[in-house]
Chains A and B, each alone.
Chain A
């Protein structure tokens, strides 16, 4: 089903070369935002055009590609991007984190630890961690050049003064190898510890803002904090209602209009794998797969699903 009208993985080889150069530069200077001549892609800016270009530049025909959005393989945009590469590159796709050679992600790092040789590609909306403190690119680039990060610490301090803690729950900034302050894309701060000393290559693509940056394997990425207010991760204080996991990031699902809710793993592959291995949570008995459960919201009952 590969579309013959386009080059392998959509982009022409010249463009891929340009992107690969930016990636290599990013890997050589971890955390530094490399400008690159982002192309218009056939999906809108904000849908992951940066990530798609990075993935396209990295893909080879032997790759196994996994695409997730909010941790899940079956969110609409993940489906759309996975299909795009199936159509333009004809590569094999998978939902299993361990099986994938390239994983493109929006807003999450998979729960299953990554391994050497894997590439994790992040979709980045605003690559500049200082942007909301200083709107001008000309200024923020200077601040990075001079390692002038005082403003960021003032912001974090003001959070503590006002709220008693640092009130940033996602896109929590990190300092890379003691040099560049970097935006890890809008992952929940729960995922921040996984950024550091990760055996996989982590690439960040921001299409609209024309920036690529990278964390090479085994790179240190320290979440910003203060000695007396150390960085803390956070998640909903529950176990997964489907697989019972205690230590995975959870999505909250509202189940009725009486305040009923359930908590489930945002990483669908992780959750599915645990259930297949026999783990079960509060509502995760054999009879109640997530699909059945979901269908119950849409008014599709198990029998009806089969009948279609």
Chain B
């Protein structure tokens, strides 16, 4: 006990100092700058922004640097900072139809209005280590892009299906969605709350849940109707002015799945939807989110609950947050000797009684 207890104060100080040294690494190697992380580790920055629920690439880069590249730790730093920020206003819903897309693909139609735009993707790269990067080689070549003027609005694929009544309609709603960072999670949750939890949920957890549906645990037969990545304007209504003002742009990844649906007791056969929306360029997460969203909708669509984890709202929502998960997991390394002592006494007592019984029997 005393080994752990005494000198706690000094031990903490020394540990923090050592940590700072380890973070810096070999001082003869130049220190990383925040712009370097922001520009060259952009996907890590995006993940930290998405799961930290705060759109600020500079702060996310700072968090990554401070966390020594541990992304969950970086998300934690961002969350702890975010929670102290005042709420100034709520924005208007962003219009992803007016997104300036960098990437827009559909897996359901070969060509479609707005076209297929591959964008900066790993999809068709060969995963061979590029040793010129290690040698800090040449800057990448200039892009040869056609001078196409981007369309003002790129329609959503689901709207084509909607026109023919082939996909379930979604009525727009002005009901303010719940905010799980300001109200305790209440179950059963509605779809906006589920989507919110998934959007900030751990990428690995959401990925595994989605993958499990593909392997038959709550199968939903998903097609990627559309995946788009780009920037959208964020607008805020200014009451004094009587109109909305654009306060900035954010990058989003949106995925809409089209899911096979044979009809149920309550719904006629038609395609159904899964939806994913994530801050930054995070398409793995957006696709996974839309699969899990669809799996969680079994009740409203009159499907059967097969006991699959991805169908189980409480299971998914209560375990998708990596900050909660990692905290509770890692806390078991804190001292528990009081409880362990109680267990020791109990086991000793039970053993003594069992041995006495055994001896009496012999």
Contacts and interface: CB of A to CB of B under 8 A. Distances in A.
A45 B72 CA distance: 13
Nearest to B346: A169
A12 B84 contact: yes
Contact of A188 (B3, B83, B329, B341): B341
Given A208-B324, A298-B3, A169 B331 contact: no
A167 B354 CA distance: 14
Contact of A107 (B327, B339, B353): B339
Interface string B311-346: 000100010000110111111101111110111111
Nearest to B79: A40
B338 A46 contact: no
Contacts of B12: 76, 79-80
A190 B339 CA distance: 10
Interface in B212-271: none
A44 B325 CA distance: 10
B54 to A, nearest CB: 11
Contacts of B1: 70, 251-253, 264, 266
B111 interface: no
Contacts of A165: 349-350
Contacts of B7: 294, 298
Interface residues of B, number: 52
Contacts of B76: 40, 44
B328 A208 contact: yes
Contact of B185 (A49, A125, A163, A210): A210
Contacts of B326: 44-45
B338 A170 contact: yes
Interface residues on A, range: 35 or more
Contact of B2 (A208, A249, A294): A294
B353 A47 contact: no
B183 A37 contact: yes
A125 B339 CA distance: 13
B118 interface: no
A42 to B, nearest CB: 5
10 contacts: A35-B186, A45-B331, A46-B329, A46-B332, A49-B327, A70-B5, A186-B338, A208-B327, A251-B337, A290-B2
Interface of A: 6, 10, 12, 35-42, 44-47, 49, 69-72, 74-80, 106-108, 125, 136-138, 163-165, 167, 169-171, 186-190, 208, 210-211, 234-236, 249-253, 264, 266, 268, 290-291, 293-295, 297-298
In order of increasing CB-CB distance, the 8 nearest A-B pairs are A46-B331, A45-B327, A294-B2, A169-B342, A44-B327, A35-B184, A294-B6, A188-B342
